[in-house]
Structure 1
Amino acid sequence: MFSVIISLLAIVIAWRFRHVRSQLASWRAGQRALLVVAHPDDESLFFSSYVANAARSGVEVHILCLSTGNAGGLGHVRVAEMSQACATLQIPKSRLVIVDDPQLQDGFHPWRADDICKHLAAAFKSIQPDELVTFDAGGVSGHPNHTSIYHAVRHFMTEMRSGQACGYNDRSGSGSGGGNRCRVYTLATHQLLLKFTGPLGVLVLLGASRLVSGPGSVVLFARDPSLSFRAMICHRSQLVWYRLLFVLFSTYTYANQLDHIGYLPLASRQGE
């Protein structure tokens, strides 16, 4: 009964602010996005509101997952589970890349920026996304794999200003400031109380954020809060009690706050 009440409250909040979603959709339709995560299940636990809103707005969402989640020796299982979860999130398998790099193995240790950047550069060159989304410096949970991605993206942004980053060679000249640009967003890490107040925490976000794209924050609401549950169920090997509680009580199930941190230059796309 409690979960039903929470879901109904989240739906009411999302309906009340449906005009915000329409404003966001108007400038994102037909674009490409690259979501960069550390482990299979990150997309379901933390980013489901973003993915659902982007897909609904007509954005072609791609996911780069930088490990197979093999800390428990179940990497091959988790790869298959992530494909199923992405199907639930309406992300085709062709838009999912899962990296199995000896230098980027799942574990409670930091990853080197250069090891991340070579995979980030390859994905960026292939996809040429209009927006890139990943963790912020807090990594939601403080996991060092999550925070390492943030620092690597910052490093990538700095290096791209010279037109050369981690093996990515931008010969279009856009690295010096011309051409198209990719917006870079990070998922806000909330304080403990806000993090675990479910849709009630969304009410706090409503008052704290501008709710429109721009130099500040964008808050994206889950029209269907059960999506995170359904996607997470695909990760059967990870369904332990504390993750189930996280999905139920986490604010991330009901809304994602994205903070705009800058731009990356894009090479001119063929035909544009």
Structure 2
Amino acid sequence: MLDTEVQYDLEFFYRFYLKILGETLLYFRNFALYISVWVFSYLVVCCIVYRRYARRLPTRTRGALKTKRVLMVVAHPDDECMFFGPTIFRLCEQGADVHVLCLTNGNYEGKGQIRRSELWDACKELGVPGQNICLIMDTRLRDDPKCQWPVPIVAKLIQHRLESLDIDTLVTFDRGGISSHPNHSAVFYAVAYMFVEKLVPKRCTVYTLDSVNVLRKYIAFLDLPLSFVLSSKRYFLRWTESRRVVRAMKRHKSQMVWFRHLYVMFSRYMVINTLRRISLADIELELEVDD
């Protein structure tokens, strides 16, 4: 009698185990199917947006800044390719007079002279004339994430370039600095200081490059639909055009360590730039968030 009960209990637990296992496998199968459908649908949307908008000629003017003389303010040599490449390439293609202001020579590893030369080579590849490049050599502005750049000094340097070149559009980093590098963010705070102190020329419009989360940052062309929906000012490059930005980035040979090769392959900033126009009200809101 006891053996019969034990056998019955074992059969019960065996059937119960098979039932749980079957339901678990069914759940994971349905979950995998659900995710696969979403991924496939998103890829289809990416292809549609790319073919319909990014590959067409009107994209060259769609969402454009409509600028004649633009100043790109970056912190280090290679920033112009790593982050602003699509914007610089497209503006040069549209015939805008593009100027680049680089606030350091990138001497963090003692390669300042090499990186200076690489900056000129990279900008030439993007279409920026050599005479339109200005590199600052100031001991107060060191290429160092631990160095706190004096905001008024940076603001004064930017203001001088804006006024001397009669710039109508300024493009630089946002508060996040794309990679959260303190030197990048310092440029934004200098521009914020200029707004507060009313140092921005009245005819000058200011745009910042959107910082995005890590997932969006490293999905390259797959960020196209989100960029199109979430931003009104955007520059997309076709696959063949993005190779030009890649070639420009590779001019920075001293910086092309293994992880930057991965960055070039997967970063959306090599193919997509989304920009946001900012005003004094936006700056005040940003500073309130910091406080």
1:169-180 to 2 correspondences below 5 Å: none
Return the alpha-carbon distance in structure 1 between the equivalents of residues 58 and 52 of structure 2: 12
Provide the rounded CA distance (Å) in 1 between the counterparts of 2:151 and 2:172.
14
Distance 2:145 2:108 in 1: 9
1-structure distance, mates of 2:82, 2:174: 15
Whether the 8 Å CA contact 1:48–1:227 is kept in 2: the answer is no
C-alpha distance in 2 between matches for 1:64 and 1:112: 17
1:220 aligns with 2:235: yes
Match of 2:194 among 139, 156, 160: 156
The answer to whether the Cα contact below 8 Å between 2:71 and 2:101 also exists between their aligned partners in 1 is yes
SS of 1:181 mapped into structure 2:
coil
The Cα shift of 1:24 comes to 4.7
How do 1:62-211 and structure 2 match up within 5 A? 62-109=99-146, 110-160=148-198, 165=199, 181-209=203-231, 211=232
Aligned counterparts of 1:72 and 1:64: Cα–Cα separation in 2: 21
Q: Number of matched residues?
A: 231
The CA distance in 2 between the partners of 1:259 and 1:228, in whole Å, is: 22
* Structure 1: segments with no counterpart, 5+ residues: 1-7, 169-174, 212-217, 264-272
Counterpart of 1:46 in structure 2 is 83
Distance 1:11 1:95 in 2: 32
Secondary structure of the structure 2 residue equivalent to 1:39: coil
Judging changes above 3 Å, is the alpha-carbon distance between structure 1 residues 222 and 159 closer, same or farther for their aligned structure 2 residues? same
The answer to which structure has the higher helix fraction is 2
Task: Quote the Cα distance in structure 1 between the aligned partners of 2:116 and 2:53.
Answer: 32
Does structure 1 conserve the Cα–Cα contact (< 8 Å) formed by 2:208 and 2:278? yes
In the other structure, the counterpart of 2:257 is 240
Residue 203 of structure 2 aligns with an amino acid whose one-letter code is R
Shift of 1:12: 3.7
CA distance, structure 2, for counterparts of residue 77 and residue 242 of structure 1: 20
Structure of higher CA gyration radius: 2
Q: Kindly tell me: are residues 243 and 13 of structure 1, through their superposed partners in 2, closer, same or farther at Cα, counting changes over 3 Å?
A: farther
Q: For structure 2, which runs of at least 5 residues remain unmatched after alignment?
A: 1-45, 281-291
Preserved CA contact (<8 Å) 1:63 1:96: yes
Structure 1 residue identity aligned to 2:185:
T
Compute the displacement of 1:204 (Å).
Answer: 1.7
TM-score scaled by structure 2? 0.74
**Aligned-pair Cα RMSD in Å:** 2.1
Q: For the structure 1 residues 58 and 24, does the alpha-carbon distance in structure 2 shift closer, same or farther, using more than 3 Å as the test?
A: farther
Deviation at 1:198, TM superposition (A): 0.6
